[in-house]
Structure 1
Amino acid sequence: MIAEKFKSNSYVLFISVILIALFRLLLTATIPLLDKTEARYAEIARIMWDTNQWVVPQIDYGIPFWAKPPLSTWLSAFSYVIFGVNEFASRFPSFLLSILILIIVGKMVKKSGVSFYLPGFILLTMPEFLIHTGVVSTDTALEFCVVIMMISFWKTMKSETKTYWNYLFFVALGLGLLAKGPLIMVLTFPPLFIWCCLDTRRFYELFSKFSIGMGILITALIGLPWYYFAEQQSPGFLDYFIVGEHYKRFVVSGWQGDLYGSGHSQPKGMIWVFMLAFGFPWIQIVFFKIWKNRKSIWKNSWVSFLLLWLFWTPIFFTLSKNILHTYMLPITVPIMFLMVHWWDDFVTKTKLIRIALIFPVIAFIGYIVLVTGVFDDKMNTDKYILQHLMEKNENKEIPVYYWKEKSYSGQFYTNGKAQVIKEANQFDSIFKLHKKIFLVTLKKTESEIPEKYKNQMVLTESNYKTAIFATK
């Protein structure tokens, strides 16, 4: 009986989606927060939870974080209130948003007779989507808002009368302004405008089916108050965020104005490489189908809508000099919808399913290796080295200092108690103040510690990049 069920692709899709989702949920609770991005956003949320300062996010106590709006930080901080401060709590909102996307798109395709689990299978086997189903970042919140906006637009345009989708479009736009700022409009408005240009009658439908005045008010009420209060409490925020993060970051190679790191300089057009790598295997199949149907592809309103949604983001980022693979996350959904549209065209569906499972299987094998602890000292986190240190020392109150700069994972796993020694002349006063301290340093900066101070300490812990010294 069971063997017969597994001959059904629908049953395989169902089992695969459930198992992959549970596996991804397991990862949210058992993988340490990694530097820099994930640990940084988890720490920003922890400080928000700790200080009860919900307007201006802080990258360290008293230091505002102007780079991103607070939606994802609010979600993680609120999760800390419910689940306590831990990896699972910081990641759970991202996991939940991704699952909500799977449910929404699953219900959409089910109405057309397609398996509810097919969209979930396609998305969860796509590396980019699977990775971000439970990662502490702003990208999942942005993706959620983009998806709701685009689906709401399509639903509104195809309805006979005004529906709640019309208002949901503006709600998602307002939330998008809180997720990642004006970028939400950059990623959605151009493809929607171009799609309407393909048939100018759509502009009439747009103005007749959307409550634009009320919609703008809804968006403003949701998205704009925070910007006002953030600028009031932290002057200079708007200039940095609007001009710096939304212009200079994308057009100035190695942008030096970044207050919180450095620009991710890449060759122009790298977004297409990211798309091919992190959209495997579905983007390759979609490209093949686009080429095969190139003569008639724009005649179908749904397909043309998806194509503009898919291609606008990589076209926009083609000229950008500072990009990450996460920038392609919002286009994983149109890739999925195109695959669902052409699903019945494929005779060898079982073969496609097997190929798609390659990345989740590799991820699972990698996880099994990681939980053995073999690579604990090779992971880009200070969790294990700090954990081992505290396990060996009964006095948990011994102060932890970082030489030159703290890691975000170090901040998180010391509950914000880690401090920084930026200048060598600080050692004298610190040694007088404390009988014993732990000094954490990157191995590449260890040589910068003056010998007279280093001689007063002994190495207690180390991994591939970090060493911890304790005063004798």
Structure 2
Amino acid sequence: MRADTPGQARVFWVGVVLVAWLLATSGARSLMAPDEGRYVGVALAMLHSGDWLVPRLDGLPFFHKPPLFYWIGAAAMGVAGPVEWAARLPSVLGASAAGIALFAFLRRWTDDRLALWSTVVLATMPYFFLGAQFANLDMLVAGCISATVLLAAWAVLAHDEAQPWRGALAGAHACAAAGLLAKGLIGLLLPFLVLLAWCAWTRRLGTLWRLCRWLPGWVLLLALAAPWFVAMQRAYPDFFDYFVITQHFRRFASSGFNNEQPFWFYLPVLAALTLPWSIGLLLPRHRNAAPDIGTTTRDIDRLMGVWLVVIVVFFSLPRSKLVGYVLPVLAPLAFLVARRILASGPMREGRGLKVAAAAAMALCLAGVGTLVAMPPPGARLHLPAGQRIGPGDQVLMLDSYVYEIPFYWQLRAPVMVLGDWKQQPERDDWRKELADAARFDKARASRLLVDASQLPAILCAPRTTWLVGPNNSQLAHPWLAGTKLVAVNDRLAVWRHDGATRRGPHCAGIPDAAPNADAQP
């Protein structure tokens, strides 16, 4: 195994450049609704509450996903404050892990030039770059999966060559544990499926079986990942059914959770979002290209091909598909692109590669620039000068939960949300997320998830209430005419009601039961 100091320094500096490249624009734009606001809000609530075990959405246990993203985001915001780049740091680190693992693996098992250009291709793919600029769980788990596959493959190759393999295998188990804590079972299942298919193709199933029986690796994985899952099951008896059965198996089989798309959905997505590099796959191999030497190079080609196919097929099977699901295939795709380009005639020389890399970087920055230039989300609604939410004030959201408000208004306490909570929501939206969370803390949910009959008691209390809702909320709630409109934009509006100055059973003209309709932003 290559353990020279210059080689280790090269890996280190590649990592530094990669992190700097991804981090440079990560704070350039506002959080996007709903995903970024949701996950960043949970991380910020973890920081403010001091409870680093239970993820909470508006103060209620939120078990859609495990806590690794929230841990990293909360720690970053604890140091830097609630700023966008700190909120997106988990995604930046996930992308960096994929790039560093790819470079280190290819440098060990191929050559420096292929390792470097594969990493350059990966880092400048718009799909990869923009994924690292988005504060959700997809890039973090993609980085964990990529590092797990590469380290486990390293261990397989090293074992067959009678070289040290335990360090790489221990690293694979640690990354698999991180994957479990990032997004659940796919952090372990997908690397195993990739390795199983690859080892079957290269006749290494015996090696894989021997490595799977290495007990210290499983002890490490369980020591890192199991405590959180055990703690949640002990505290919440319904945790296993909700987190494992509903959020894994039912989500995979159902079309009602996310966007329903055809089986071939990811093929055009990958081709378009990896431009201009995806064109490189069409280049013909040059007749004077150096032939591949040895079985290891061919086996790495097979690893990358199997990796790409297994994950694309896996996420193509369910009807519900999201663009971020296939981010784990970008590392092998970058390798295959770099291999094809380096073996082609017009592009294999350094100048052609540099021009392509410059064009790819320009596309990445243009993508960020486009997002920055878009109209800011309604959640960036600022309160007028002199208006601020005091420590004793309460916030009530009307017929919608605006995920980004706690982040941008720096709210330290949960807000109340007005809605029809007697009916179980069917759509996978903010209602269902809050209703699902309510089952794990019914007492707190009864105070936070309110209906129209509770409005008089809420608004007529001797404290200021800030009301946030769609800017057409007065159509559904005529009583808002008796409150003060303090801010409005094309999506949201904010009203202020000083309850202490209007005591009585019909505060602000609210009848015994105010009407309630679903006005949407």
Q: TM-score range by the shorter chain?
A: 0.7 to 0.9
Q: Please state if 1:147 is matched with 2:146.
A: yes
Of 169, 172, 185, the residue aligned with 1:169 is: 172
| Corresponding residue number in structure 2 for 1:195 | 198
Task: Give the letter for the 1:137 counterpart.
Answer: N
| Corresponding residue number in structure 1 for 2:277 | 282
Separation in 1, partners of 2:383, 2:360: 35
Separation in 1, partners of 2:247, 2:39: 17
| Corresponding residue number in structure 1 for 2:460 | 432
Give the SS at the match of 2:493. strand
Task: Give the letter for the 2:178 counterpart.
Answer: L
Query: Structure 1 pair 342/463, CA: closer, same or farther in 2 (3 Å)?
Result: same
Give the SS at the match of 2:275. coil
Separation in 2, partners of 1:152, 1:267: 33
| Corresponding residue number in structure 1 for 2:231 | 229
Separation in 1, partners of 2:263, 2:408: 37
- Within 5 A, what are the aligned runs for 1:448-467? 448-449=476-477, 451=478, 453-467=479-493
Tell whether the 8 Å contact from 2:88 to 2:135 is kept in structure 1 after alignment: yes
Q: Deviations over 1:96-141 (max 9, x none)?
A: 3323433333344445131764233212221221012243222222
| Corresponding residue number in structure 1 for 2:6 | none
- Within 5 A, what are the aligned runs for 1:13-32? 22=20, 24-32=22-30
- Deviation, 1:352, is 5.5
| Corresponding residue number in structure 2 for 1:335 | 333
* Aligned length in residues: 437
Give the SS at the match of 1:316. helix
Task: Give the letter for the 2:308 counterpart.
Answer: L
| Corresponding residue number in structure 1 for 2:266 | 271
Query: Structure 1 pair 289/211, CA: closer, same or farther in 2 (3 Å)?
Result: farther
Give the SS at the match of 1:29. coil
- Deviation, 1:340, is 2.8
Tell whether the 8 Å contact from 2:465 to 2:497 is kept in structure 1 after alignment: yes
- Within 5 A, what are the aligned runs for 1:3-42? 22=20, 24-42=22-40
Query: Structure 1 pair 214/437, CA: closer, same or farther in 2 (3 Å)?
Result: closer
Tell whether the 8 Å contact from 1:390 to 1:396 is kept in structure 2 after alignment: no
- Deviation, 1:311, is 0.9
Query: Structure 1 pair 162/45, CA: closer, same or farther in 2 (3 Å)?
Result: same
Query: Structure 1 pair 356/299, CA: closer, same or farther in 2 (3 Å)?
Result: closer
Give the SS at the match of 1:455. helix
- Deviation, 1:424, is 3.8
Give the SS at the match of 1:140. helix
| Corresponding residue number in structure 1 for 2:131 | 132
TM-score for both structures, normalised by structure 1: 0.82
| Corresponding residue number in structure 1 for 2:365 | 364
| Corresponding residue number in structure 2 for 1:3 | none
- Deviation, 1:91, is 1.6
| Corresponding residue number in structure 2 for 1:323 | 321
Q: Deviations over 1:342-365 (max 9, x none)?
A: 332133334555455446424535
Separation in 1, partners of 2:74, 2:357: 35
Give the SS at the match of 1:148. helix
Tell whether the 8 Å contact from 1:457 to 1:471 is kept in structure 2 after alignment: yes
Task: Give the letter for the 1:447 counterpart.
Answer: L
Query: Structure 1 pair 22/176, CA: closer, same or farther in 2 (3 Å)?
Result: closer
Gaps of 5+ in 2: 1-13, 420-450, 499-521
Q: CA RMSD in A?
A: 3.3
Query: Structure 1 pair 53/471, CA: closer, same or farther in 2 (3 Å)?
Result: closer
Query: Structure 1 pair 285/188, CA: closer, same or farther in 2 (3 Å)?
Result: same
Of 374, 387, 393, the residue aligned with 1:393 is: 387
TM-score for both structures, normalised by structure 2: 0.75
Task: Give the letter for the 1:465 counterpart.
Answer: R
Separation in 2, partners of 1:435, 1:239: 40
Tell whether the 8 Å contact from 2:19 to 2:92 is kept in structure 1 after alignment: no
